[in-house]
Amino acid sequence: MPMAETPESTSQALRPVRVWDGAVRLSHWLIVALVAFSWWSAGENLTWHRWSGYAVIGLLVFRVWWGFTGGGAARFTSFLRGPATLLSYLRTVGRRDVSTTPGHNPLGAISVVALLLVLAAQVGTGLFVVDVDAFDGGPMSDRVSFETGRAIAEIHETIFRVLQALVALHVVAVVYYLVWKRTDLITPMITGVKKLATDPGFAPARLWAFVVGVGIAGAVAWALSKGLRF
C-alpha cells in the first residue's frame, strides 16, 4: 500500500492521529442536519425555516472564526494552497493509492470554501426574501421593495440548486475516495482520528477560542434574526 514517500513513513506502521477537533466535526454534522431541515421546512413552516437558517448563520460565523483560531487541521492556513500545489495534487487524483493528506487535500479545500461561500449566499439572501403574499419573509425583508424581495426569493431558490449540486459533488468525491482510493474520509469526520504514518503534530483546539467563537456566532445570529434592530 503506497504511502507518503518520507524515510520514516516507509518503515513505520500506520497509527491513529487526532486530526479533526470536536468543533469541526460537530459543526459539519449540524450543518448537514440543518440544511436538510431548512430544505424540508421551506415548504412547511417558515418560522422553523428561519430558525434553522439562523442556526446555520451561527455555524458559518463560528467556522470562519475557527479557521483562524481552531485546532491545526481546521485552520485555513493549513489547507488553503496555491495553484502549483493544486496542480501537482490534481495529477495524483486518478491514482489508485490511499490518500495520506492529514487534513483537507488541496482539491477538497476548494470544495470546502465553495460550500461555505454558497451557504453564506443562501442564508444572506434568505434574510431579505419576501414571501409571495408579502406578509412573511426574512427579518430584513422590510428594507427592500416587494419586487426586490421577490427577486431575491428567486435568487434564494437558485442558490439552493447550486448548493444541492455542490453537496452532490462533495458526496460523490467522498465516495470516490472511499471506493477508488480506498480512503475512508467519513470515519475521521465522526471520530476525529485518521490512521497516518507520521503525526503532522496539529495544534490542539483551545477552549477559550471555542467559547469566544460560540459567543460571537450567537451574537451575530441573534442580531441578524432581529434584522439588526434592537
Kindly indicate which of the ranges 9-17, 88-96, 185-193, 210-218 contains the residues binding ligand HEM, using the contact rule CB under 6 A. Answer: 185-193
Which is nearest to 102 in space by CA: 207, 206, 19, 203?
19
**Residue 97 vs 157, nearer CB to ligand HEM:** 157
Retrieve residue 168's grid coordinates. 452532490
Rounded Cα gap, residues 79 and 167, in angstroms: 20
- Shortest distance, position 22 Cβ to ligand HEM, whole Å: 12
Which is nearest to 126 in space by CA: 139, 135, 116?
139
Among 28, 75, 181, 195, binds ligand HEM (CB under 6 A): 28
Among 59, 60, 61, 185, binds ligand HEM (CB under 6 A): 185
Rounded Cα gap, residues 95 and 92, in angstroms: 5
Three-state SS for 17? strand
Beta bridge partners of 195: 16
Retrieve residue 40's grid coordinates. 424540508
- Shortest distance, position 190 Cβ to ligand HEM, whole Å: 9
Binding site for ligand HEM (CB under 6 A): 24, 28, 31-32, 35, 38-39, 42-43, 46, 49-50, 53, 56, 63, 74, 104, 108, 112, 115-116, 122-123, 126-127, 129, 131-132, 136-139, 153, 156-157, 160, 167, 170-171, 174, 185-186, 189
